[in-house]
Structure 1
Amino acid sequence: MLLQVLHIAQAALAAYGGQQSFHAIQNLLKYEEATQKLAKYSNEADRQLQKTRATQAAGAIALIMSLVASVLLAFRGHSYGFLVRTLASPFMAGCLFLARQYVQDYWGGGKRVPLPKMGSYNDAQKQTEDLAQVLERLMFSWCATSVLCLLAGY
């Protein structure tokens, strides 16, 4: 029962992170056309555009994976084998760790300075920082469910 509640909480946190990710991507898309034009003339601008897209995608994919896994384990976990139930949590913790690290490495983990007259971009930057925090909290929650699975023998 406790494990089921934790998985439901993980699903809710992943949904919240998905909202942050969605808004960040929407704000970044406002600058997409201008950035693509600039990328035609600058290799660095092209690299930054590709990295921005890749980090946003990595965060979104990790959230979707966490949401799906937590919902499946919360409502159908008893029907999966012992091995799946035992390995799902550490696997998800590892995936979330890698995604969070990838996002933070590019976005600076709160160390980027807001740009003048770039309100939506600055909003996207803040939402991406929030996304990284959600990924971290999810990672720790999957670590907790890993421990609970091992101790309780689920």
Structure 2
Amino acid sequence: MLLQVLHIAQAALAGYGGQQSYNAIQNLQKYEETAQKMAKYSNEAERQLKKTRTTQAAGVVALALSLVASVLLAFRGRSMGFLVRTLASPFMAGCLFLAQQYMKDYWGGSKRVPLPKMGSYNDAQKQTEDLLQVLERLMFLWFATSVLCVLAGY
């Protein structure tokens, strides 16, 4: 029962993270056309655009995996077999760790200074910082379910 509650909490947190991610991507897309034009003339602008896209995609993929895995384990976990139930949690914790570190290297390494007259971009930065916190919390929740699986013998 406790394990099921934790998986439902993971699903809810992944859903919240998905909303943060969606909002950040929507705000970043407002600058997409300008960024693409700049990328034609600057290698650094092209690198920044690519990194922005790939880091946001990494967050989306990690959240989607976490959402699907947590829902499946919450409602179908008993029928999945001991090995799947035991390995799913550490696998998901590892995926979230990798996604979070990849995003943090670009978005959260040092606090970014808000840019003047770029309100939506600044909002996207804040939402991405919030997303990094969600990924970290999810990672620890998956770690907790992993420990519970081992201790309780699920």
TM band (smaller chain):
over 0.9
What letter corresponds to residue 124 of structure 2 in structure 1?
A: A
SS at match of 1:40: helix
Mark the runs of 5 or more structure 2 residues left unpaired by the alignment.
none
What letter corresponds to residue 114 of structure 1 in structure 2?
A: P
CA distance in 1, matches of 2:80, 2:88: 10
What letter corresponds to residue 77 of structure 2 in structure 1?
A: G
Q: Answer yes or no: is the 8 Å Cα contact 1:100–1:132 preserved in 2.
A: yes
Provide the aligned C-alpha RMSD in A. Answer: 0.7
What letter corresponds to residue 148 of structure 1 in structure 2?
A: L
Shift of 1:109: 4.5
Mark the runs of 5 or more structure 1 residues left unpaired by the alignment.
none
For residue 77 of structure 1, what is the aligned residue in structure 2? Answer: 77
CA distance in 2, matches of 1:148, 1:109: 32
Shift of 1:108: 2.3
CA distance in 1, matches of 2:152, 2:129: 35
Structure 2-normalised TM-score? 0.99
For residue 53 of structure 1, what is the aligned residue in structure 2? Answer: 53
After superposing on structure 2, the runs of 4+ consecutive aligned residues of structure 1 that deviate more than 4 Å are none
CA distance in 2, matches of 1:49, 1:87: 35
Aligned residues with identical type, % of pairs: 84
| Residues 95-130 of structure 1, C-alpha deviations (whole Å, 9 max, x = no match) | 000000011100124611100000000000000000
What letter corresponds to residue 9 of structure 1 in structure 2?
A: A
For residue 28 of structure 1, what is the aligned residue in structure 2? Answer: 28
For residue 147 of structure 1, what is the aligned residue in structure 2? Answer: 147
SS at match of 2:145: helix
CA distance in 2, matches of 1:111, 1:51: 17
For residue 117 of structure 2, what is the aligned residue in structure 1? Answer: 117
| Residues 79-101 of structure 1, C-alpha deviations (whole Å, 9 max, x = no match) | 00100000000000000000000
What letter corresponds to residue 32 of structure 1 in structure 2?
A: E
CA distance in 1, matches of 2:90, 2:110: 27
For residue 130 of structure 1, what is the aligned residue in structure 2? Answer: 130
Query: 1:39 aligned to 2:39?
Result: yes
What letter corresponds to residue 80 of structure 2 in structure 1?
A: Y
Q: Answer yes or no: is the 8 Å Cα contact 1:23–1:127 preserved in 2.
A: yes
